[in-house]
Amino acid sequence: MINVENLTKRYGKHTALDDVSFECRPGTVTGFLGPNGAGKSTTMRIICGLTPPTGGRATVLGSPYRRLGNPGARVGVLLDASAQHGGRTGREVLRLSARILGADPGRVEELLGQVGLGDAAANRRIGGYSLGMRQRLGLAHALLGDPSVLILDEPANGLDPEGIHWMRHLLRRFAEAGGTVLLSSHLLREVEAVADRLVLIGSGRVVAQGTLDELVASSGVRVRATDTLALRAALTAAGIDAETGANGPLLAHAEAERVGRAAAAAGVALVELRPADDGGLEQLFLSLTTGTTDDGKGVR
Ligand SMILES: Nc1ncnc2c1ncn2[C@@H]1O[C@H](COP(=O)(O)OP(=O)(O)OP(=O)(O)O)[C@@H](O)[C@H]1O
């Protein structure tokens, strides 16, 4: 379990986080999604006790991270895959950490296999690793103490499609076994395939959160009637905002039942009423975060 309550972080006059709250429950993968500079890393660093917040608090398994006994055996963290000593081999790094954590040395070989670092790769110095190999090693490192919580900052960065596929499976299995996962990304496609819940952040504020279904529903419904003008009037009378969709139907910002009732009350016959679907979620994400990146890169 991870609880983030009203976190605020200021660097001088710059507000990096503004009243950020969310929770991650056991058995679920939470995708933490936002453009570059939105505040994802800052939030994760605060959760892991590496950066002090200006206000609010974060707890992991009921305590602030710094007060957890033997945190490495309870919380697996991957914040920066390049943070390992470049002169050591992957196997050495894991063996050393296993000793510190008191983990079974056999676990190192098991994890090297699990993350797809074969003998040749495991015996190479990390300085020569690609980013994808560092991410695999970082994930093995996070899993070493057999934790029940994983906190991963952009773990798919640098992974090839096969690597991303493999990582999704690993995280799903971890959650299905009762684990709690928080993973960040700036790519909607990357997290929507694996996350049960999404927390969307833009300019240091949580702009939306919920299950994928809830967010898709909140992105509206597509509705079409034989008489579009009458439908528009019915929606306006019911206080429902609607805009013209890309190819005919209106995009109404309300749940399907409310839209259906508004049309029925005005005697308008509908010929289509359905969730705005994935495209709607993408639109929602873009509209919620557009203009919030501080490097102009935007979100794909
Ligand atoms: N140590 C620091 N000093 C000053 N400003 C900082 C510091 N760390 C982060 N920031 C600022 O806080 C904001 C949030 O940064 P953060 O790294 O948390 O974003 P992010 O969502 O993780 O982005 P990215 O995907 O690019 O890593 C940015 O405006 C960043 O410039």
Q: For the chain, how are helix, strand and coil distributed in percent, rounded to 5?
A: 40, 25, 35
Domain(s) labelled CATH 3.40.50.300 in the chain stretch across: 2-209
Topology (CATH level 3) of domain 220-275 = Alpha-Beta Plaits (3.30.70)
37 lines ligand 1 (CB under 6 A): yes
The interface pTM score, or ipTM, of the predicted complex is 0.93
- CA gap 283, 101 in Å, rounded: 45
- Comparing C-alpha atoms, which of 34, 76, 282 is closest to residue 182? 76
- State the distance from the centre of ligand 1 to the C-alpha of 16, rounded, in angstroms: 7
**Ligand 1, atom 8: nearest CA belongs to which residue?**
42
What is the per-residue pLDDT for 198? 93
DSSP output for 159-207: --HHHHHHHHHHHHHHHHTT-EEEEEES-HHHHHTT-SEEEEEETTEEE
Q: Which CATH architecture has domain 2-209?
A: 3-Layer(aba) Sandwich (3.40)
pLDDT at res. 243: 83
Phi-psi region of 4 (alpha: psi -120 to 50; beta: other; left: phi over 0): beta
Residues 219-258: b if buried by 16+ CB within 10 A, e if exposed: bbbbbebeeeeebbebbeebebebeebeeebbbbbbebeb
Q: Return d(Cα 207, Cα 20) in angstroms, integer.
A: 10
Cα 213 to ligand 1 centroid, rounded to whole Å: 30
Give the bridge partners for 63, in sequence order. Answer: 60
Q: Supply the residue whose CA is at minimum distance from atom 2 of ligand 1.
A: 11
* Centre of ligand 1 from the C-alpha of residue 24, in Å: 22
**pTM (two decimals):** 0.81
Whole-number Å distance between alpha carbons of 187 and 203: 16
Q: Which atom of ligand 1 is nearest to the CA of 45?
A: 18
- Measured in Å, residue 43 CA sits from the centre of ligand 1 at 9
What is the location of CATH 3.30.70 in the chain?
220-275
pLDDT of residue 294: 47
**Residue pLDDT, tens place only, 60-115:** 999 999 999 888 889 999 998 777 777 888 899 999 989 888 888 889 999 999 88
Does the C-beta of 80 come closer than 6 Å to ligand 1?
no
Give the mutation target among 8, 41, 47, 294 for probing the ligand 1 site: most ligand atoms within 8 A of CB.
41
Helix (H) or strand (E) holding 209: strand 205-211
Atom of ligand 1 nearest to the CA of 42: 18
CB 16 less than 6 A from any atom of ligand 1: yes
DSSP summary character for residue 66:
G
- Distance from the alpha carbon of residue 21 to the mean position of ligand 1, in angstroms: 18
Nearest residue by C-alpha to atom 30 in ligand 1? 37
Across the chain, which has 300 residues, the per-10-residue mean pLDDT values are 96 94 96 91 96 96 91 89 79 90 87 88 88 91 93 90 88 95 89 90 90 76 90 93 76 87 95 75 68 43
